[in-house]
Amino acid sequence: MSNTKLVEKLNGGLAWELRASALYSHYSAYVKGIHRIHLKAFFDEEASESNTHADMVRAAIVKLGGQAVTDRDPTEIVHTTDYKVMLEEALKTEQKAAKGYEAVLALIKDDEEMYDSIEQIYFQELRSVEEVTQLL
């Protein structure tokens, strides 16, 4: 796989992280009722994790000599004050992220450092999928 194709894939992941960060910050602001006690902290943590992932993916793009995107993925962020809908949207977001990184991992086997870094993100996405599934 050429660097151009790989950068394209990583940029897809980066745009998805930027969207995830916006989604979690949005839900953190709007989550209502008794569930706010737990879910605001959870959404804040997930937003911060998405920003960390974005930084790691951006670093990989820079290493490949590519140009990192600055816009988030355009997929709609569903506005709601219903925490269940928020969690369902979070689950979809994490599942898609995990799938994307799984595909990237298959392409970067010869770069150990990059593989380790993307694998770390991938495992965190899997943990998030598991966590949100438990919350639902």
- Which residues of the chain form contacts with Fe ion (CB under 5 A)? 50, 53, 97
Residue with Cβ nearer Fe ion (46 or 83): 46
What is the DSSP code string of 98-113?
HHHHHHHHTT-TT-HH
Residue with Cβ nearer Fe ion (52 or 82): 52
| Closest alpha carbon to 56 in 91, 13, 95, 107 | 13
Nearest residue to Fe ion by CB is: 53
Residue with Cβ nearer Fe ion (53 or 96): 53
CB of 125 to Fe ion, least distance (A): 5
| Closest alpha carbon to 23 in 73, 84, 98, 63 | 73
In terms of DSSP H, where are the helices of 31-74?
A: 36-63
Residue with Cβ nearer Fe ion (60 or 97): 97
CB of 120 to Fe ion, least distance (A): 10
CB of 102 to Fe ion, least distance (A): 13
| Closest alpha carbon to 75 in 12, 117, 121, 1 | 12
